[in-house]
Every structure is written in C-alpha cells, then in structure tokens.
Copies of this chain bind each other. A is one copy, B any other.
Amino acid sequence: MQTVVIPPHRLVFVETEPARCVFNLTEGVVKIYKMLPDGRRQVTGFIFPGDFLGLVQSPFYAYTAETVTEAKLCQFPRKRLEALLDKLPDLGDRLLGMASHELAIAQEQMILLGRKSARERVASFFLMLSKAAQRRGEQGNPISIPMQRGDIADYLGLTPETVSRTISRFNAQRLIQIKDDEQVSIVDPVALYKVAAGALRDAELGV
C-alpha cells in the first residue's frame, strides 16, 4: 500500500487496461467515464474523498479514471486485497455493501438520463454535489463545483452549452447565486428540490 499524488487532468487508469490496483481517494476529485468509438463520452460518476476506485471483479478496468483536481490516492495491489479478503471475511461484506450502494446510485442516474429534462438534470446534479459535500463533513452550501462544464455535460447526457444556459437560468430565477465558475450558493433549496423531481416547471418561476 502506497500513497500517490496526481496533478489535475491526468489519467489514473484507462479502460481495458489490466486492473492491477485498487484505489482509495483521500483528497481531491476524480471522474470516471466510458467512451464510444467516435469519441462520445459518458461520465458515469464522480469520486470524492473516502470513495473507492477500480473495484472490479474482472481482470480489466471497465472504465477510465481521470483526476479533476489534484488528487491524493491510496493504492492497493489487487492481489494484496484478495489475500486480505481471505483473512477478513467482514471485508467482503463491506465490499458487497459498497457495490450494492453504487448500484443504487447507478439506477438513480439511469432515471436521470432516461427520463429527466435538462433543468431537472442540472438541479439534481447540484443537489448531488451538496449531499456529497455534507457526507464528507463539509457544509453543503455554497457548493464547490471543481469539474468543468464539459464534464458536467458528459455526466448529465447534455452539451456544455445546455449546462451553461440552464445554470444561468437558475441564477436569473434566484434558485441559485453564481459566485464564479466553481462556486454556487443555493438560494432556494426547496424550489431546487422541486425542480429536480419535476414538480416545479420553468414557467412557474418567471423571468
């Protein structure tokens, strides 16, 4: 086991590459994504401190991982992990719990991608960021948005332009207040929740 620090916008590992190590993120943000042959990209998740990375059964990584900010990672050789698994059966339970949790998140993301409008997606994204920040002990408001618009777009199944427009509109409608590209405060959390769930239409907000 070994700690590594990786600068922003660097690959941690690449899809289809042999899965030699498992990582635990201690600082920073990492995005994971898959690509289509023609270059289209889907960001399948963002990894925050405390989360694991590269936990797969198969001998190859199923996705690419890339730092968003500078990241500090604990690196375990997979073989070591397997040996540990034999000694500590409780560890297997925890891994199963984590996989189960990730699966639930993945299904939530499917309903977002398959059935939500652009504004519902962006509202859901802000709330996700806020909850993720709270889960690691920070206050959920204002939220820091370390990833760039293109990453958000590829996470939400939109274009960067649509993400930008939607954020601007939320700002004009006083749901949020934009400080800068990376900092947004939630002005009306209740309304934002309603928008995310599709219970509050654009027309009802004026502007």
Residue ranges of A at the interface with B (Cβ–Cβ < 8 Å): 34, 36-38, 40-42, 44, 55-58, 62-63, 85, 89, 92-93, 95-97, 99-104, 106-111, 113-116, 154, 156-157, 197-199
With A42-B115, A115-B157, A197-B37: A58-B104 Cβ-Cβ less than 8 Å: yes
B157→A114 contact, CB < 8 A: yes
Contact A111 B56 (CB under 8 A): no
Chain A: interface secondary structure?
A: helix
Which 3 A/B pairs are nearest by Cβ-Cβ distance? A114-B157, A113-B113, A106-B106
26 contacts between A and B (CB under 8 A): A34-B107, A34-B108, A36-B115, A36-B197, A36-B198, A40-B111, A40-B198, A42-B107, A42-B110, A42-B111, A44-B110, A56-B104, A58-B104, A62-B104, A62-B107, A89-B92, A95-B96, A96-B96, A96-B99, A99-B100, A106-B107, A106-B110, A109-B110, A110-B110, A110-B113, A114-B154
- Give the complex CA separation of A97 and B56 in angstroms: 8
**Is A96 a contact of B198 with CB atoms below 8 Å?**
no
Evaluate contact between B110 and A199: CB separation under 8 angstroms.
no
